[in-house]
Structure 1
């Protein structure tokens, strides 16, 4: 949909518990720093009310969002580079495919806590009616994939469908360009002399990773609704999310 952000897409159109998710309300994407003039015009026409940027501070500095896209409803992750859980997990990992795959599974299992402020900000923006909303990170597949999965699961989209949307990111991304972008951002030191087998893991979207997120969710909170209740959402506030999107 966007030349400079190939992983950009509308989350609308999926069959949910109470109907079909409305289009033009929630978008997911990779970073926005490489948008063409045509892309910028397309995004401006979406009339975004809020952008949830899941990247760390250092990532945002390395790949800034164009000023013309910033909105009054923007939420920027407060994480600095040293707080970025991905870095902490992989800093001491062996440079093997098995070790990095295990690291990704761990990462997904920890995101419900590590990214609770960011995920809650997304749900809060929707509940408060700050739509359309755009959620993005660097590649738009891991942190954004988790946020999107939680939203779709809350709305009652079948998990097999959620996994299909998640896996789609691998085909949307241009592997070489994606890796080049990642090498330029806050995770540079992790990728020095990284063997091809680990690079393949980085660029992938394995269903098993998302299943780790869901397993943690189900075990600890029972559902996304339970997760939101744990973080202070009333039943009325949760209902407003559904009302806004279905």
Structure 2
């Protein structure tokens, strides 16, 4: 079964389910990652809702947000970096590889932790209200940025590490999203991924993602930045139980 979702023509939407790790296999229909949703019409929104999505977390900055996707969804607007920070942007002008992830955690830990707080809250609500239907995706969460590649990639990698997913599966998930949005932007003539075709950029991405994860204990980071142990249990339970 493919993990890539074809909903409403969205170009880079993936179910985190199906990935294996030390705690077991991630359950399908619980959390999705995606690129922006701004182009969704009423039928597209209905498709997401019918597939069980109830919560949307938008990781973009204020100046990137176009049409707001809200009702019938619960929407959280959670930028995880401040692109008005001139020093940060001078160091990372493209923001297209995991090399900058660690600096985001250093500069804005509370913003990143807030995303996981939303996931914990959504998990608690699903447990209370979804009942057996949660198996089919009732109460599912979808989080996204603009391309569904880097900000979304960082949160995904952290979430999967928290659930002890195999490193190779985390890297493969990231690269699948990178390639999907590169293919899409090439077709529509938009901003393409900065790749010279040699694979050197993907090799750099893999190395940098590994370095990021090697230097991070996600559970410790979240506990140090306002989440409780029960919050972590709820986030893990959404994906593993």
TM-score by length of 1: 0.72
Moved over 6 A (4+): none
Contact in 2 for aligned 1:52/1:136 (Cα 8 Å): yes
Partner of 1:64: 67
2:101 paired residue number:
108
* Distance change (3 Å), C-alpha of 1:125 and 1:161: same
Contact map agreement 1:111 1:213 (CA 8 A) in 2 = no
The partner residue of 1:147 within 152, 155, 166 is: 155
Shift of 1:218: 3.5
Question: Whole-Å Cα distance in 2 between the matches of residues 176 and 40 of structure 1?
Answer: 25
The number of residue pairs the alignment matches comes to: 215
Quote the residue 1:167 is aligned against.
175
C-alpha contact (below 8 Å) 1:22/1:245 kept by paired residues: yes
What SS does structure 1 have at the residue aligned with 2:143? strand
- Structure 1 equivalent of residue 211 of structure 2: 215
Deviations 1:76-132 (A, max 9, x none): 3286652488744355xxxxxxxx69x745423323234534432232123222542
- Structure 1 residues without counterparts, runs of 5 or longer: 92-99, 183-195
Secondary structure of 1:49's partner?
A: strand
Of 75, 78, 83, the match for 1:76: 78
TM-score w.r.t. structure 2 length? 0.74
| Matching of residues 1-246 of structure 1 within 5 Å | 1-60=6-65, 63-68=66-71, 70-71=73-74, 73-77=75-79, 81-83=83-85, 87-91=89-93, 104=97, 106-114=99-107, 116-128=109-121, 129=123, 130=125, 131-173=139-181, 174-176=184-186, 180=190, 182=191, 199-200=194-195, 206=202, 208-209=204-205, 211-219=207-215, 221=216, 223-246=217-240
The change in CA–CA distance for 1:79 and 1:170 in structure 2 (over 3 A counts) is closer
Gaps of 5+ in 2: 1-5, 126-138
